[in-house]
Structure 1
């Protein structure tokens, strides 16, 4: 009878996340093309915006080693993906539609520079409110977390959004709404993400 093998010790996600996915943030310049937090080009259509926020843990402390990815539709509400077959909407060749950012190791603040997306036609022909999809990973998060960010100046569209309407408690829906701020000529949407505890952000199993 063969000897039973002992279970290998487990370990949560650690700094290798940055070394492998965002090496420049960890002090390594090893990629010819670094995936960054700026999704726009000089000719990108749509309203230019920035997204900023802090990811906090259950005690309310900033998570300073978090890595976030976003993907979104362009200003017409079209994804740059062959699976998006919405009629009458075209791909914007100057818009990447996907970005990656790390939180600042000192402050915990993350930032993306992008455009405000248009409404996407979802299942059964139902329009979805303008939104941005988030994927979050950090030390202590073994499986990436998925959520969405909606815009507080799209109240009517948010109220009819089929995904938001799946969330039974209105107070929980509010955790997905980013707040618009005007800083001089720049529009910034503030979107803080809470991993646990009071006002925990709604995450989706996808």
Structure 2
């Protein structure tokens, strides 16, 4: 009897369901006791404590209220921590989501300088993955800091972007939020000011 080959399952976007499984509070559900969420740095973590926050916009400039974001960054000394433990003061990985108000928030510390595989220093940055309806494969980008001009100017990844104006779509703006140092980073998935996304 010949082997029957099954057709490939059609790809699907994250849709509105990602919140139900991965962002319970954003979906209006009770949170699990052990949850990887948006507090990457607890009060005792070394370094400058900051908030990262922003909105996600579609090509028409409308808020995307059901996006899901993952963040991966070095600590204040420029070192990644690969062992996740909710009891530690800092973890390199965190998650957030947009909901009714359309804003995501991360509590962390400002990362230090990291060297790439060739040993070249990279400006302080946070790696960001974005999942949302209408996106088959998550989008990846980076968040840099506008008060790191000297490091940003020589960053090997930022300098891969040929148009200087486009580099600014990766630079978060320092501000204050309720007395806390914060950096605002709005992501635009399409349009004239589309955020630069990477194929890592």
1:97 pairs with one of 92, 101, 107? 92
**Given the alignment, which residue of 112, 115, 125 partners 1:118?**
112
Equivalent in the alignment of 2:74? 73
Number of aligned residues: 195
Partner of residue 158, structure 1: 152
Q: Does the 8 Å CA contact 1:22/1:34 hold for their aligned counterparts?
A: no
Aligned mates of 2:123, 2:99 — CA distance in 1 = 30
TM-score, length of structure 2 as denominator length? 0.89
Give per-residue Cα distances to partners, 1:163-198, cap 9 Å, x unaligned. 001111101111000000134631110100000011
For the aligned residue pairs, the C-alpha RMSD in angstroms reads: 2.3
* TM-score using structure 1 length: 0.86
Q: CA shift at 1:79, angstroms?
A: 0.2
- Contact 1:22/1:35 (8 A) holds in 2: no
Runs of 4+ in 1 over 2 A off after TM superposition: 4-13, 27-32, 182-185
CA distance in 1, matches of 2:31, 2:178: 36
Larger mean Cα displacement after TM superposition, 166-175 or 32-41? 32-41
The aligned runs of 1:184-203 (5 Å cut-off) are: 185-203=179-197
Q: 1:12 deviation in Å?
A: 3.1
Work out the CA distance in 2 between the residues paired with 1:126 and 1:111.
Answer: 30
1:139 corresponds to which of 133, 137, 147: 133
Q: Unaligned regions of 5+ residues in structure 1, if any?
A: 83-92
